[in-house]
Structure 1
Amino acid sequence: MANSTNEQGGAEASADALKELDRVTDALLGEGGCPWDIEQTPWTMTDYILEEAFELVEAIRADAPEHSTEESRSEVMEELGDVAFLLQFVAKKYSQAEHFSLADSLKYAAAKMVRRHPHVFGDLHLNSEDELLSNWEKIKRAERSEDGEAPKRVFASLPKGLPPMLKAYRINSKAARAGFTWDSDDAQEAHLQSEWQEWKEAEASGDEEKMQEEFGDYLFSLVEYGRRRGLKASMALGDANVKFLRRFNHIEDVAREKGQDITELSLDEMNALWDETKKK
Structure 2
Amino acid sequence: MAENSPQAVLEVLDALLGPNGCPWDREQTPESLGDYLLEEAFELVDAVRRGEEKDIAEELGDVFFLLFFLSRLLSSRGQIPGLQGVWEANARKMADRHPHVFADARCTTRDDLHATWERIKKKEKGSTDGTEYVRSSVASIPGSLPPLLRAYRLHAKAAKAGFTWDTDAEQQAATGREWEEFRQVLAEDDPKRKEEEFGDLLFSLVEFGRRQGIKANAALHSANLKFIRRFEAMLDLARHKGLDWSGLGMEEKDALWEEVKRSESRSGVNRYSGGSGG
Q: Which category of TM-score, normalised to the shorter sequence, fits these structures?
A: 0.7 to 0.9
Query: Could you tell me how far apart the structure 1 residues matched to 2:209 and 2:77 are?
Result: 45
1:43 is matched with which residue?
Answer: 31
Query: Structure 2: 5+ residue runs without aligned partners?
Result: 265-278
Q: Is residue 93 of structure 1 aligned with residue 73 of structure 2? A: yes
**Counterpart residue type for residue 83 of structure 1:** V
Q: Is residue 159 of structure 1 aligned with residue 142 of structure 2? A: yes
- Choose the corresponding residue for 2:169, options 186, 190, 208: 186
Q: 1:47 to 1:260 in 2, by over 3 A?
A: farther
* Contact in 2 for aligned 1:248/1:274 (Cα 8 Å): yes
**Counterpart residue type for residue 238 of structure 1:** H
TM-score w.r.t. length of structure 1: 0.81
- 1:78-89 mapped onto 2 (5 Å cutoff): 78-89=58-69
* Contact in 2 for aligned 1:169/1:232 (Cα 8 Å): yes
Q: Is residue 19 of structure 1 aligned with residue 2 of structure 2? A: no
Provide Cα deviations, 1:183-221, integer angstroms capped at 9, x if missing partner. 122222222222223223333555544333222222111
- 1:103-252 mapped onto 2 (5 Å cutoff): 103-145=84-126, 151=133, 153-205=136-188, 207-252=190-235
- Choose the corresponding residue for 2:45, options 38, 57, 62: 57
1:75 is matched with which residue?
Answer: 55
Query: Could you tell me how far apart the structure 2 residues matched to 1:179 and 1:124 are?
Result: 24
- Report the more deviating stretch, 16-25 or 49-58: 16-25
- Identical aligned pairs, as a percentage? 48
SS in 1 for 2:177: helix
* Contact in 1 for aligned 2:47/2:59 (Cα 8 Å): yes
TM-score w.r.t. length of structure 2: 0.82
SS in 1 for 2:7: helix
Query: Could you tell me how far apart the structure 2 residues matched to 1:183 and 1:126 are?
Result: 24
Instruction: State the Cα distance separating 1:243 from its structure 2 match.
Output: 0.6
Query: Could you tell me how far apart the structure 2 residues matched to 1:245 and 1:108 are?
Result: 44
2:17 is matched with which residue?
Answer: 29
Query: Could you tell me how far apart the structure 2 residues matched to 1:243 and 1:154 are?
Result: 35
Query: Could you tell me how far apart the structure 2 residues matched to 1:77 and 1:168 are?
Result: 30
- Choose the corresponding residue for 2:246, options 259, 263, 271: 263
How well do the aligned residues superpose, as a CA RMSD in angstroms? 2.5
SS in 2 for 1:155: helix
SS in 2 for 1:145: coil
**Counterpart residue type for residue 107 of structure 2:** L
